[in-house]
Amino acid sequence: MGRLIVRWLLAACALLAVAYLYSGVEVRSFTSALLAAAVIGFFNITLRPVLVILTLPVTVVTLGLFLFVINALLFWAAASVLDGFFVAGFGAALLGSLIYSVLSLLIDQAMRAVFGR
């Protein structure tokens, strides 16, 4: 349980970093970042598998690049349902989700180093 909370807090920090690094994404407060990280995580758990299966032919044809579009749409969708988290448009969602994905990858590596597998 502690690992999940640490991961959630670090994901919120990653969202704040995305907002700092890229002007197309805005996060008003740490509380907004916590809520946004939770909503993005929820969307990734519930909606992403369905979208991946539904768009499998397009994903295969584009050699997996369409997964970036799915990530951007989920990032954008999270911003549309929250008040303190804003994304300027689809292009901003694409770049913001790419930065967030890279930061999440680094967080996962750090979590493995600290907590083990």
pLDDT of 3-27, one tens digit each? Answer: 999 999 999 999 999 999 999 999 9
pLDDT of 25-53, one tens digit each? Answer: 999 999 999 999 999 999 999 999 999 99
Q: How many domains is the chain built from? A: 1
* pLDDT at residue number 117: 73
Q: How confident is the model at residue 2 (pLDDT cuts 50, 70, 90)?
A: confident
Average the pLDDT over 87-103 and give the result: 97
Q: How confident is the model at residue 115 (pLDDT cuts 50, 70, 90)?
A: confident
Distance between CA atoms of residues 58 and 76, nearest Å: 20
Distance between CA atoms of residues 48 and 108, nearest Å: 19
Distance between CA atoms of residues 115 and 72, nearest Å: 29
Contacts of 12 (CB under 8 A, 6+ apart): 30, 33, 34, 36, 37
Domain of 97, in residue numbers: 2-115
Q: 75 near 87, Cβ under 8 Å?
A: yes
